[in-house]
Every structure is written in C-alpha cells, then in structure tokens.
Amino acid sequence: MVSNASDRRPRIGITTYLEPTIWGVWERDASLLPRVYLDSVVAAGGVPLLLPPVGTDPSVLEILDGLVIAGGCDVDPGSYDAAPHPETVDTRPGRDEHEAILIRAALDHGLPLLAICRGLQMLNVTLGGTLQQHLPDAVAHDEHRPSPAVFGRTEVKIEPDSLTSKLFGERTTVHCYHHQAVDVVAPDLRVTARAGDGTIEAAEVAGHDFALGVQWHPEENPDDLRLFTALVAAARRRTTR
C-alpha cells in the first residue's frame, strides 16, 4: 500500500562518493557513503536515498523531499578558474559537475538543501564563489584538520537573525575536518557563522526557506541532530503544502 505524502517519512537524497573500493574478494569502483549520514537522516525521521555521481539527471529530485550534499575530497580548482595548489589533491571533477547540477536544480525547485563540509564549498562554487585551497596558508595552523582521520573541535560564532542562529544560538562547538574553505563568497550566499580565526563555517542562500551549508560535520555527532531534524522538518513542510 502506498502512503499519502502527508503521512510518509520525507525522502532525503544524499550524494555519494565514487571510489576504488575493496570488499571481500572484490576490488572495484563503488558508490559509497559513510553510514553516519544514513543513521543521522533516519534518526531525524527521514528515509535516506543514495545519489551516485553517474548518470546525473536533475529530474531525480522530483521523488525527493530534501537533499544533502555530502563531504569528501577536494573540489577541483578548475571549477572556479583557479590553478591547483600543491596541497590540492585527489579531486573528482565528475562529482563536482554532478553535485553542481543537483544544487542548481534543488534551489530552482525550492527543495530543502543541507550542504556539509565539501558540500558548502560546492554550494559556494556553484553560485559563483571561490575557495581557499589550503587553509593553513591563511590561518597558520592545522586545527581544522589536526591529523589524518582525526576530527578537530572548533567553536563557531553565529550571526543573529539567521536559520543557523535559530538552530544553534550565538555559539556552538562542532566537529571539523577540512583543509579547504570558502574564500570569495558567492553573491547569493549570506555568511552566518565563522570560527575564531575567521574561517567561514556556515552560509545560507538568500530567499530560500532551507538552503544551508556548514563547513563542519554534523553527522559525526549523533547526540546533536539539530541540522538533520531541521532538514527533515523542512522537507515534511514541503510535502504537505
């Protein structure tokens, strides 16, 4: 039996990695995503649907109620007309293009959008901004990515009268893992949170009910589901309109 839109759980699409992967006796390219994203969406009341970076078709958003642009590798500097920094490695131009198409379509159709870490960077680049390719060059420390596979802890200060402040108040401490960050801010983005060193930690798209990017990793803190709960709530409002 098919449920009505008003009583089904919102469907939240999440972009995925396409990476060389080993499992069992197999070594092949695979579409994958850390489970913490899935668990966060489910715990917030949504149904996660994975979106691989192949066969991109923005019409897939017609079956979704919300979209998450996940974290991952460095954004290709060619997407914002910059030469690569020596520390910019392991880029995936195909994924960049895939996510840019989905971001534009989501904004065009008012689909609730949460962009996480690399996702915020892709949101900024897609809307015409640029990136700082190696953040330690600008802030003179490695606290945003302390060591391989170790998340940093960053306190962020939040701008008032923003969606970010409604969710987190004036300040919050977050899990972070990145060496790139927003540099020139896209015209349609409003910066709504910064770290103490000035690094942009959150930004919102003007004129949208829920289009928010964060530089941190909310999926890494299962005790704080505020971002995912807000996304699912926005998706539910959209389905019942």
* Residues that are catalytic: 117, 217, 219
3 state SS of 32: strand
How far is the C-alpha of 62 from the C-alpha of 153, rounded, in Å? 37
- Among the listed residues 53, 58, 95, 56, the one whose alpha carbon sits nearest the alpha carbon of residue 73: 95
Measured from the Cβ of residue 196, the count of other Cβ atoms closer than 10 Å reads 11
DSSP string, 105-125: HHHHTT--EEEETHHHHHHHH
The greatest distance separating any two alpha carbons of the chain, rounded to the nearest whole angstrom, comes to: 58
- Among the listed residues 100, 62, 38, the one whose alpha carbon sits nearest the alpha carbon of residue 228: 38
3 state SS of 211: strand
- Here the tokens at position 146 are 């302390």
How far is the C-alpha of 182 from the C-alpha of 202, rounded, in Å? 10
- Among the listed residues 122, 101, 136, 118, the one whose alpha carbon sits nearest the alpha carbon of residue 33: 118
- Per 3-state DSSP, the chain is made up of helix, strand and coil in percentages (nearest 5) of 30, 30, 40
Q: Judging by DSSP bridges, how do beta strands 113-116 and 152-158 pair with one another?
A: unpaired
